Structure 1
C-alpha cells in the first residue's frame, strides 16, 4: 500500500488545495493511504477531518511579525515539533511527503529529506516563501503556479501546474439564480461578494462597515464573509440592512461565486486561482503583512494583465467601497476583467500534480 503524508496548513489557501491534491491521488489509486500533518489549534485540525482524512497536529507556531515578544517560545516549539515529526514519520512510514505551505510543513519535509524520502512542494504564490526555497534544493519536484520561478528553485525541478482548486468550485453547475436564492437575496439586484480570506480581513471589513449605506443607495446587495473577529458586528449590520447577508465563514463557496456579480478579495494565491476559474471581476486588497508581501506581487501580476483592480490595504477605508460601486456600474469593465481573469484559470491542477507525484514515486 502506498502511504503519503501531506503537510501544511494555517489558512484555507493551504488547506483546500491540499485536500484537492489528496482527493486527486485517491481518485487515481483508491488504495493510497493519506495522512495530513498540521498545526494544533489551526483550521486544518477541523477542515481535514471534515474532508474525510486523518490528521496529526504539531505543537508549532510561526514567526509573529507584529509582536516580537510572542516569539520567545518559538525555538522550543520548533525543537518539540521535530521530535513529534520523527515519531509520526517513523510510525506511518510514508513513501512520499508533500508540502503545501504553512509553517507546519517545514519540519515534516526537512525530516523526510534527511530520511531520503521523496518530497514534493507546491508553491502557490508568485513569490516563494523562505521555507519552501530552503526545502526546494532537495525536493524531488516543485509544483508552481506560474512561470519565472527559477529565481527561487532549481529549474530542473520546477513543473508549472497552476494552483489546485476545490472540485466543488471547479466543477460547479450552480446558476446565479440558485446562488442568490441560497443567500435569500434579490435576483434583480447587482450582488457584491466580499471574501477577506478564511480568517477575515480587518481593513476590508472596516471599509464595508463604514460605507454600508452606499450599497443600498446604489442598488447593490452584499454577501459578506467577515471572519471570526468581525462576526458580531457583521451580524448586527445584516439585521439592520436587508440587502446584506453576513456570516463568519461561507462553507458553500460555489453558491457565493455563482451569486456574485463583482467580488472584493484578498490576493492570496488560492483565492486568485478560484476567482480565475469562476471568471469574476475583482477588486483585490492585498494583505500587506504576508511573507515577502507576496499578496501585493500576486495582485500586481493580475493588474498588469488587466485581470483585476487593486486597492492598497492602507487605502481601503477611503477607496474600497467607491471602487466596488464604480465597478458594479460599469458593465464594459466587468466584461473585460472577466475575460482576462478567466484566461488564467486552470481547472485540473490537482490531477496534474497527483499524476506527477505518482509517476516520480514509481521511478524510485
Structure 2
C-alpha cells in the first residue's frame, strides 16, 4: 500500500515551515500516491508558503502566549479550545496514517489530537534547545528527530534519533560556482564578498550594524551582498550602488548567494545553522536575543564550541565587530580552519533520514 495519508503541522516562521515542506516533498517521492494535508496557524506565513509549494493547508485559530500580560494572553484559552476542537475534526475527517510536527503554535493542538486518535506521531526538533510545544508533545510521540546532541535532557532518550535538519538540496552543489554567482549578482570577482543574512523578514540590529559599517567594508576592500529583509526594504535598498554594495529585500537564489560569499554574517536560527554547516563557509553569528529560551545563542554555541564559527552577541556588537571581522577577513588560514570545522558538523541527508523513520512507523 502506497496511498498513505500524511498530516503535517508546523509554522509561524520559515524555520518551521521549510523543513515541513521538505519532509512532504521527500515523502511524495517515496509514495507518489500519498495524500497530504498541512495544518497551520491562521494569519501566519505558512498559509501562503504551503499552497505555493503545492499542498493543501487548514488554519487553526491559535497563537503563542505573550511574555507579558496582554489581551492576547486572555484570549489564549479560548483560542486553544477552538484549535483543539478543529484539530480533532480535521484528524477524524482526514484519517492520517502518520502525523508529523515541525514545531510552532499549530503543531501543538494538531499532534495532541492525532495522538489521542491513535495516530503515530513524529516530531522534528530543529533547535539545540526545544520549544515548549515539542517538550509537551514528546511524551506521546513515537519518534523525535533532532539536529543536535544532548537533547535527552528534554526528551525521552529511547525516542531520539539524530537526523539533522532538512535543507535545500541545491546547496549540496555550490562548489565551483563562485564565478557564475558573482556575475549573477553583478559583483567584482577580484574582491572578497561578505553575505549578510537576517532571515526572510530581516533583522533590525544587523541592518543597523551593516549600515554603520559600510565605509569599514569599503576600506577593507570587501563588497557586500545584503539581504535586508522585506520589512526593511524602503530603509536600506538606497545603499545599493551597483558595484560594491548590493542590497536585496529577499534573495531567492540562495545557492548562488552562498557560492558568491567568502564570509557570511547571519542570525542563528536552526535552519540557517544547518544550511551554513553544509555550505561550509566561514560564519560570524549574531544570534537574536528576542526568541524563546534564547535558543539562537544556544544554536550558535553548539557550533562555536567546536571552533567552527564566530559569535558576537548583540550587546557587544559595536565594541567587537570590526576587530573580529578584520581578523577573519585578513587571515586565510583562520577562514580555512572555520570552514573545515563547520563542514564536519553537516548532516546533508537529514530529510531522507527523517523519511526513513516515518517509513518504520508504516511497516
The answer on whether the counterparts of 2:124 and 2:145 sit within 8 Å (CA) in structure 1 is yes
Cα distance change, pair 327–67 in 1 and its aligned pair in 2 (3 A): farther
Q: Say whether residues 1:132 and 2:134 are aligned partners.
A: yes
- The corresponding residue for 1:338 is 339
- Distance (whole Å) between structure 2 residues aligned to residue 124 and residue 54 of structure 1: 23
The answer on whether the counterparts of 1:17 and 1:166 sit within 8 Å (CA) in structure 2 is no
The answer on whether the counterparts of 1:62 and 1:103 sit within 8 Å (CA) in structure 2 is yes
The answer on whether the counterparts of 2:39 and 2:57 sit within 8 Å (CA) in structure 1 is yes
- Distance (whole Å) between structure 1 residues aligned to residue 71 and residue 212 of structure 2: 33
The answer on whether the counterparts of 1:203 and 1:317 sit within 8 Å (CA) in structure 2 is no
- The corresponding residue for 2:279 is 278
- The corresponding residue for 2:85 is 83
Cα distance change, pair 262–49 in 1 and its aligned pair in 2 (3 A): same
Q: Per the alignment, in what secondary structure is the counterpart of residue 50 of structure 2?
A: helix
Q: Deviation per CA, 1:259-318, whole angstroms, max 9, x where unpaired?
A: 111000111111111000010110001111221111111111211100010000222244
- The corresponding residue for 1:40 is 42
- Distance (whole Å) between structure 1 residues aligned to residue 178 and residue 10 of structure 2: 34
Q: Cα distance, 1:79 vs. partner?
A: 2.1
- The corresponding residue for 1:258 is 259
- The corresponding residue for 2:218 is 216
- The corresponding residue for 1:195 is 197
- The corresponding residue for 1:327 is 328
Aligned residues: 361
- Distance (whole Å) between structure 2 residues aligned to residue 244 and residue 42 of structure 1: 32
The answer on whether the counterparts of 2:187 and 2:244 sit within 8 Å (CA) in structure 1 is yes
Q: Cα distance, 1:350 vs. partner?
A: 0.2
Q: Say whether residues 1:244 and 2:252 are aligned partners.
A: no
- Distance (whole Å) between structure 1 residues aligned to residue 74 and residue 318 of structure 2: 34
Q: Cα distance, 1:42 vs. partner?
A: 2.0
The answer on whether the counterparts of 2:4 and 2:31 sit within 8 Å (CA) in structure 1 is no
- Distance (whole Å) between structure 1 residues aligned to residue 229 and residue 349 of structure 2: 29
Q: Per the alignment, in what secondary structure is the counterpart of residue 101 of structure 1?
A: coil
- The corresponding residue for 2:297 is 296
What does 1:1-364 correspond to in 2, within 5 Å? 1-65=3-67, 68-172=70-174, 175-239=177-241, 242-362=243-363
Q: Deviation per CA, 1:11-37, whole angstroms, max 9, x where unpaired?
A: 121111111111111121211211111
Q: Cα distance, 1:67 vs. partner?
A: 7.0
Q: Deviation per CA, 1:27-73, whole angstroms, max 9, x where unpaired?
A: 21211211111122222222222222222222221223367454332
The answer on whether the counterparts of 1:6 and 1:18 sit within 8 Å (CA) in structure 2 is yes
- Distance (whole Å) between structure 2 residues aligned to residue 247 and residue 102 of structure 1: 28
Two-structure CA RMSD over aligned residues (Å):
1.7
- Distance (whole Å) between structure 2 residues aligned to residue 64 and residue 198 of structure 1: 22
Greater displacement, 38-47 / 315-324: 315-324
Q: Per the alignment, in what secondary structure is the counterpart of residue 320 of structure 2?
A: helix
The answer on whether the counterparts of 1:221 and 1:244 sit within 8 Å (CA) in structure 2 is yes
Q: Cα distance, 1:173 vs. partner?
A: 5.7
Unaligned runs of at least 5 residues, structure 1: none
TM-score by length of 2: 0.95
The answer on whether the counterparts of 2:51 and 2:57 sit within 8 Å (CA) in structure 1 is yes
- Distance (whole Å) between structure 2 residues aligned to residue 104 and residue 170 of structure 1: 31
Q: Cα distance, 1:242 vs. partner?
A: 3.4
Unaligned runs of at least 5 residues, structure 2: none
- Distance (whole Å) between structure 2 residues aligned to residue 179 and residue 11 of structure 1: 27
